[in-house]
Chain A
Amino acid sequence: MNDMAKPPRSRAAKWTRRGFIGAGVLAGGALIVGVAVRPGNPVGKLGPIVAGGEGEQLVNSWVKIGADNVVTAIVPHCEMGQGAHSVLAQMLADELDADWSLVRVMQAPADGNYVVTDTARGFVAPGTLDAPDWLEPTWNGLFTKISQLGDVMITGGSSSIRTTGQRTMRIAGAAARQMLIAAAAREWGVPAAEIVTANSMLSHAASGKSAPYAQFAAAAAEEDMPQTPALKQPKDYRLMGTDAPRTDIPEKVTGAAQFGIDATVPGQKLTYAAVRKVPVPGTRIASMKADVAKTMPGVLQILNMGDFLAVVADSYWQAQQALNTIEAEYTKSESAIRSSADQFAAFAAALDQAGDQGGKELVGKGDVAGVLSVSAKTFTAEYRAPYLAHAPLEPMNATVWVRDGQCEIWTSTQVPLMARSAAAKAIGLSADDVTMHHPMLGGGFGRRLEVDYVVMAARIGLATGYPVKMIWSREEDTQKGLFRCADLSRFTGGIDAKGRLVAWNNVFTQHNDPAEACDAPFYDVPHKSIRVAEAELHLPFAAFRSVDHSQQAFFVESFIDEAAHAAGRDPVEFRLAMLGNSPRHKAVLEKVAAMAGWGTRPAAGRGRGVALVQSFGTIVAEVVEVDMSQGKPRLTQVWCAADPGFAMNPDGFRNQMEGGIVFGLTAALHGEITLKDGAVEQGNFNDYPMLRIDECPPIAVEIINADPVHLGGAGEPGLPPIAPALANAIFAASGKRIRELPIAKHFA
């Protein structure tokens, strides 16, 4: 945790202004490109912050090289299990021709110099990643400014590799390599073009000279920064596209890895806070009785914060024990929604009002109403998805120390700069007065894109004035956070005389991100109307792994499957026939069908289901085989084919597909948050169960690299197809069509 602390002034002194400007270490993002001329940046602080070690040389914002020839990639995204730290370093190391066994990763500090400019470019201006060379400096400067204003240091959207990796890290590696070559050429008096790099060594054949990178790191930092260094073509990749082992795994098998919850405050005694938020969103604490808690051992302070209670004690266990004795009363909620039935009635009312044509149109083409009226066959279907809690295994927590107009925070977060700003605002400080440490995350899944828990901890810290670690109980984590939305979606399909899906009419109530998640435009369907008729959500919303795809894929791919059966056609053949204009989707579907032996007959009592989804730039098809012979579903195998364009680390990509599938199976089979009296009913893993190893089927994953230039994501795309593939398999095996998740409750 202390690797981000400021070192003694003596070390900082070696960082001259000349050194920074020459090295182009002025700012973040793709800022090694052209930043050296942007005046007024706080350049003096970057080197001391990230390269304080003896003998370390920062070559540019993203690379430092140690005297031991260790190359450290400074990665601006957080590590929450998706492998971004390692893969981003892998991309940088490849362009740098670094020896992978000597590459380390450092989490970039929560500092405006490390905003993820290219992620912002991907989000703000998709499709404009590549500016002409002459515009690059301006373009980069513009997006860096936007990113800094918006505190854009974000890890989400399955975006790290395809934005920061493809641009920032690769450019940083390639630029650093050119700078090392230039420095060596100068020293050796040979042409730069004759110097060869490999395994973190420079060599010149004609003169017989060679040297490790470390020898020229300091001189390289004085070289001019190449503005647009040439990047490798796929045929020249040495690390990209290989299963380079992850850098973070060794410390995760020894218990040494540090997560937010493991934070200590150097030189200080920690105290611990247990918290209880109001049970119903929007209410307040009306009164509390804490007589017993006050007398309990270890208790230091009892705080009524209005929207939550906190007990601070010498030990977390003591704090929680004391909190359990506090009785509280709460104000009444103004929400008319008290139960899950109320919530779905509100959805149904909105859809009833929208009818066949109302609501806001998101996708519209052709003449849906006209074609439905003349279709050979029409069918309707209504699908339901429940609220879900993210349930990362590391509960929400944050450690804070507020004193003397300063605040220091240690927490697991996907948005360190936003968390810093929100905490500062909550306790009346400026963001510059808040230092944020963000170690590894024990799972994020979108929950840690929210900053509510960091703000709570900061408020507790302001009240105590001494260091305090706030930890939510599992029950708080399940009940009091933010949630994947529930929703209701209604479809009407029209099939023509040739058994083709010709009309697709759909309306639902929740439309978040990605905007296109409700559609599957790769299928050739001539008449389509997709609309949203908004309805109020009782529980606060947070992006959940794959966001809207997590429910929309279930709706859409169940609908497509129902269309296939309505047409009397095989579900794979039916889909393939609609993919005439989408060769990559067709290839992925054909691949998974081949893997699963789709044409063969499954064993008695078993059935197979398929689903095809594109999300976050990656095309994924999955087939599930399910055994229904015991009267309830038992998964026997999952096959997954995926085209991410190019998998930078195939094994890491497969691991993400496996993880996305298991995460999606938990949601499909078990996941349901319900409401009673306005509050969440579930609390722990007994009533909000997760998929366990004894329910987990074998999973086979194959990758198609169809486009090495335009990459898709990895963290989320494995999830969306699994729920519909499973529901479709259950239909194939048993004739029972599941239109409401979770699946397990239909077989209880």
Chain B
Amino acid sequence: MVKFTINGEAKSVEADPAMPILWVVREQLGLTGTKFGCGAALCGACTVHLDGQPVRSCSTPIGEAEGRAITTIEGIAGPEGELTRVQQAWISEQVPQCGYCQSGQIMAATALLRDNPRPSDADIDAAMAGNICRCGTYVRIRHAIKVAAGIEPARVVPLSGGAKA
């Protein structure tokens, strides 16, 4: 039996302590926002926070979560579902394509901005280099992080009356 909190809720699960957090979260707790990409801490799709620090859940045993707090993508919004600045910027800058890596990207970006509220391009590249986006949304990720940080303005998306041939 391993005991921890997940997204603020106390849980105890029957699991081999060696089982990676990823599979406990996805299979036993039904939180599928955290993704399996590589199984070897190489792609970042499985990024969650353990006591606030980003970790690769595919390679972190659940035993290490004993008595600690896990936060997944499902747990970062406010109590009424208010999206975080990072999530809002991901929408305003229309970042995701397929979206499969984006839970991990958002978890990594959230940790970056908490520790470094005004990151430079180099800071962003260093913090985000562990997260692969196969669709290639890096330009927008970089920009959206700056929008979330208040360094660059959010885009206002026109809904109608736009471009003509």
Contacts and interface: CB of A to CB of B under 8 A. Distances in A.
B161 A242 contact: yes
Contact of A392 (B23, B126, B134, B160): B134
Given A242-B158, A315-B27, A705-B163, A685 B43 contact: yes
Nearest to A661: B136
A334 to B, nearest CB: 33
A244 to B, nearest CB: 6
Contacts of A646: 165
Contact of A693 (B37, B83, B141): B141
Interface in B57-112: 72-74, 77, 83, 87, 90-91, 94-103, 106
Interface stretch (A131-139, A211-219, A336-344, A437-445): A437-445
Contacts of A29: none
Contact of B37 (A474, A663, A694): A474
B98 to A, nearest CB: 3
Contacts of A393: 35, 37, 43, 45, 98, 100-101, 132-134
Contacts of B95: 249, 253
Please report whether the interface of chain A is mostly helix, strand, loop or mixed according to DSSP. loop
A238 B160 CA distance: 5
A686 interface: yes
Considering residues A246, A393, A646, A708, which has the most beta carbons from chain B within 10 angstroms of its beta carbon? A393
Interface in B10-63: 16, 19-20, 23, 27, 30-40, 42-43, 45
Contacts of B96: 81, 248-249, 252-253
B99 to A, nearest CB: 3
A692 B160 CA distance: 35
B151 interface: no
A464 interface: no
Given A272-B27, A646-B165, A693 B131 contact: yes
Given A393-B35, A393-B134, A440-B99, A255 B139 contact: no
A254 B100 contact: no
A684 interface: yes
Interface string A219-246: 0000000000000001101110111111
A270 interface: yes
A245 B95 CA distance: 11
Contacts of A238: 160-161
A55 interface: no
B114 interface: no
B33 to A, nearest CB: 2
Interface string A79-93: 111110000000000
A451 B37 CA distance: 20
A350 interface: no
B125 interface: yes
Contacts of A254: 33, 73-74, 77, 83, 87
A257 interface: yes
B19 to A, nearest CB: 5
Given A80-B98, A391-B134, A443-B135, A255 B140 contact: no
A681 interface: no
Contacts of A244: 157, 159
Interface stretch (A45-53, A57-65, A174-182, A651-659): A651-659
A255 B34 contact: yes
B162 interface: yes
A197 to B, nearest CB: 14
B27 A659 contact: no
B80 to A, nearest CB: 13
Interface in A671-710: 684-686, 690-694, 696, 698-699, 705, 708
Interface stretch (A165-173, A258-266, A535-543): A258-266
Contacts of A83: 97
Given A655-B94, A655-B140, A685 B102 contact: no
A101 B159 contact: yes
Given A255-B34, A471-B36, A684-B38, A243 B83 contact: no
B140 A658 contact: yes
A317 B23 contact: yes
A549 to B, nearest CB: 17
Given A393-B101, A471-B36, A250 B131 contact: no
A395 B46 CA distance: 13
Contacts of A24: none
A100 B91 contact: no
A740 interface: no
Nearest to B143: A698
A44 interface: no
A539 to B, nearest CB: 20
B33 A245 contact: no
Contact of A658 (B23, B91, B129, B136): B136
Contacts of B101: 393
A378 interface: no
Interface in A696-741: 696, 698-699, 705, 708
A716 to B, nearest CB: 13
B136 A255 contact: no
A692 B165 contact: no
Nearest to A86: B94
Considering residues B23, B32, B34, which has the most beta carbons from chain A within 10 angstroms of its beta carbon? B32
B137 interface: yes
Interface in A411-436: none
A578 to B, nearest CB: 28
A693 B33 contact: no
Contacts of B147: none
A246 B138 contact: no
Contact of B138 (A272, A445, A662, A685): A662
B142 interface: yes
A359 interface: no
B160 A100 contact: yes
A437 to B, nearest CB: 15
A149 interface: no
9 contacts: A81-B98, A82-B97, A235-B164, A243-B157, A253-B87, A316-B36, A474-B43, A659-B135, A686-B40
Interface of B: 16, 19-20, 23, 27, 30-40, 42-43, 45, 72-74, 77, 83, 87, 90-91, 94-103, 106, 124-126, 128-142, 157-165
Given A81-B96, A241-B164, A249-B96, 18 more contacts: A242-B158, A243-B162, A249-B91, A253-B106, A254-B74, A259-B35, A393-B35, A440-B98, A442-B99, A442-B100, A474-B43, A662-B133, A662-B136, A684-B39, A690-B132, A692-B129, A694-B126, A696-B138
Interface of A: 79-83, 100-101, 234-235, 237-239, 241-246, 248-250, 252-259, 261-262, 264, 270, 272, 297, 315-318, 320, 391-395, 440-445, 471, 473-474, 646-647, 650-652, 655-656, 658-663, 666, 684-686, 690-694, 696, 698-699, 705, 708
